């Protein structure tokens, strides 16, 4: 994290909530927003994580909360707490999700696994966005950014439950943008390509990651900071009139349609 001087960050005075900020992409997104001046609030199953300590050590402000984001009562409670403590929620990044699933043809996916992948990747976006929209709608401003995956653009084989879940969130992003736009709230999504995080390496292995790089127009590995930079743009004043969009950050592996 590269901290900014007091008052210099583009997000100075903003409260940014990032789910799943304890590791991987979530951690880098959290550190990036904090470096731009935002007061960072992390929500994870385990509230004790290194992200908050790293941000504070670098001169930023951060706090953490524990919640099972698939549990409606817990989500509502933690967002009530955040609103009481910070008076407002300016930014919500729905990053938490479940990626480490065994790849297999869809006809071999049992209903329990299907329901788990859908529940962990879709339900938290709905519950967190609904809860965060309450203070946002009251103040008539806010930014919601959903983290998707570029797999939705080319239909990754043997991963249909994950593709379906992320595709559902893409549709939710557009609907929320329509419904929240009149309140001055923008809703967008960032769809990363295959980023060599620990979770990705555990799930697909280095060989698949190298193959992914070869399929990109820019043939070099993605870095978590590439995704965090896109999220930061969608939180910034420069993106004030951008809403309902999905920004692909995949090195040109696929292109969005117009």
Identify the three-state secondary structure at position 191.
strand
Catalytic residue among 97, 162, 222, 248: 162
- Residues whose CB falls within 8 Å of the CB of residue 166, separated by 6 or more in sequence, listed in order: 121, 148, 149, 151, 152, 191
Question: What per-residue string of b and e applies to 161-189 under the rule 16 or more CB within 10 Å gives b?
Answer: bbbbbbbbbbebbbebbeebeeeebbbbb
Residue 99 designated active-site: no
Measuring CA to CA, which residue among 100, 116, 119 is closest to residue 201?
Answer: 100
Place of tokens 């698939």: 70
Q: Which residues are catalytic?
A: 162
């Amino acid at each position: 994290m590269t901290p900014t001087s007091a008052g210099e960050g583009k997000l100075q005075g903003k409260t940014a909530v990032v789910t799943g900020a304890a590791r991987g992409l979530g951690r880098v997104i959290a550190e990036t927003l904090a470096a731009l001046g935002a007061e960072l609030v992390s929500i994870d199953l385990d509230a004790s994580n290194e992200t908050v300590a790293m941000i504070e050590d670098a001169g930023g402000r951060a706090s953490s909360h524990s919640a099972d984001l698939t549990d409606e009562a817990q989500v509502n409670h933690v967002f009530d707490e955040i609103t009481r403590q910070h008076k407002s929620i300016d930014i919500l990044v729905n990053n938490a999700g479940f990626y480490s699933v065994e790849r297999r043809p869809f006809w071999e996916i049992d209903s329990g696994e299907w329901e788990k992948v859908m529940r962990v990747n879709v339900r938290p976006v709905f519950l967190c966005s609904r809860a965060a929209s309450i203070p946002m709608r009251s103040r008539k401003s806010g930014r919601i950014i959903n983290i998707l995956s570029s797999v939705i653009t080319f239909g990754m084989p043997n991963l249909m439950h994950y593709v379906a879940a992320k595709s559902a969130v893409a549709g939710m992003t557009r609907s929320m943008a329509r419904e929240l736009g009149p309140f001055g709230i923008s809703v967008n999504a960032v769809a990363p390509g295959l980023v060599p995080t620990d979770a990705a390496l555990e799930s697909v292995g280095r060989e698949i990651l190298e193959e992914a790089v070869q399929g990109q127009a820019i043939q070099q590995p993605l870095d978590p900071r590439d995704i965090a930079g896109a999220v930061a743009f969608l939180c910034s004043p420069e993106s004030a009139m951008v809403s309902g969009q999905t920004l692909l950050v995949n090195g040109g592996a696929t292109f969005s349609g117009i």
